[in-house]
Amino acid sequence: MTTTAETAPARVPSFDDESTIGRKLAIICSKGNLDMAYPGLVLANAALGEGVETHLFFTFWGFDIITKARMDGLKFTVLGNTATHLPQGLGGLPGMTAMATHMMKNQIADVGVPEVPEFLDQIVASGGHLWGCRMSADMMHLSLEDLYDGVEDIISAADFIEKTDGAQLLFI
Amino acid sequence: MSTTMIGGREVHVDEEGFLTQYDEWDEDLAKQLAALIGVDLTDRHWTAIRFLRRDYRSQGETATLRRAAQLCGIPIKELFQLFPKKPAKKMAYIAGLPKPHGCV
């Protein structure tokens, strides 16, 4: 004889929940400091792992994140960042930015998070879309060849808004 | 803690349906779990699943997608093909493990 428990449907996680189908996320990365690059990359990676179509638009200082000549050298500074809880005067001393950057990079590596170029590799491998901002490229006299290989194109702000129609948006 | 029936067997699960008892899992059960979420298991899937089981036993937590890709030798792009849309969670589910908690 079959019991109710055996005929009840198995409890299975709803991986293809209706509410997430067609979900899109647009992330605008406008800052080039090391500590401001990571939030966008971490969130993009998380969204992709949840099956969310994700587009990143790199603009103004955020252009450094995808500029080959600069992406390895993003920096973290104490100056203007009271969340370090250090006297602001210290931040202006010679070598302080290099030291703070070095320490932050170690902390990021300690939690198993890759450096920026490798993180971009992971985002692209996960299906993420990277876009460079036309105005930033023009201002900095850079072309697609100067950018990280995974960047799909340099597009205008209007193009990005069009591509991310209906998306949720993060401005960082 | 609640239970559910998978392939005629009673197993302990959390609220979402992820198995909570490491030792209740075996490869026959994995085939049932995979079928429930529409994944056809190939040798490549098994490579990832067996890695996740071993890694959990030694680390005490489920590997993130990045860790799995780095240590079991299957690129992230391929993991997305093997376990579409939500690879880290789907791998963990079939391997009878909790969802990974790491951010990256």
Local confidence band at A11 (pLDDT 50, 70, 90 cut-offs)? confident
Query: What is the average pLDDT score of chain B?
Result: 94
Chain A residue nearest residue B13, CA to CA? A11
**Beta strands at B9-13 and B2-6: parallel, antiparallel or unpaired:** antiparallel
pLDDT digit string (tens) for B53-89? Answer: 999 999 999 999 999 999 999 999 999 999 999 999 9
The alpha-carbon gap from B72 to the nearest alpha carbon of chain A, in Å, equals 16
Cβ–Cβ < 8 Å for B82, B72 = no
Pick the residue from chain B with its C-alpha nearest to A112: B104
DSSP A112: T
Contact A10 B103 (CB under 8 A): no
- What the block records as the tokens of B64 is 């993130």
The torsion angles phi and psi of A152, rounded to 5 degrees, stand at -75, -35
Q: Do B93 and A13 touch (CB under 8 A)?
A: yes
Measured CB to CB, residues of chain A less than 8 Å from chain B are 5-6, 8, 10-16, 42, 45-46, 49-51, 111-114, 119, 122, 125-127
User: Per the structure block, which two tokens stand in for A73?
Assistant: 């050298």
Lowest average pLDDT, out of A17-31, A35-49, A112-126, B40-54, goes to A17-31
Q: Is B72 a catalytic residue?
A: no
Distance CA B38, CA B36 (A): 6
What would the pLDDT profile of A69-85 be if each residue is shown by its tens digit?
999 999 999 999 999 99
CB contact under 8 A, A125 and B104: no
Q: What is the value of pTM for the model shown?
A: 0.90
For residue A21, what pLDDT is reported? 76
The distance of B53 to chain A (nearest Cα, Å) reads 19
3-state secondary structure of B74: coil
More confident residue, B7 or B35: B35
B32 band by pLDDT with thresholds 50, 70 and 90: very high
Q: With a cut of 70, say whether residue A1 has pLDDT above it.
A: no
Strands A129-133 and A53-58: what pairing?
parallel
Interface predicted TM-score (ipTM) of this complex, two decimals: 0.90
| Beta carbons of B101 and A49 less than 8 angstroms apart | no
| Interface A-B: count of C-beta contacts within 8 A | 73
Tell me whether residues B17 and A50 touch, CB distance under 8 A. Answer: no
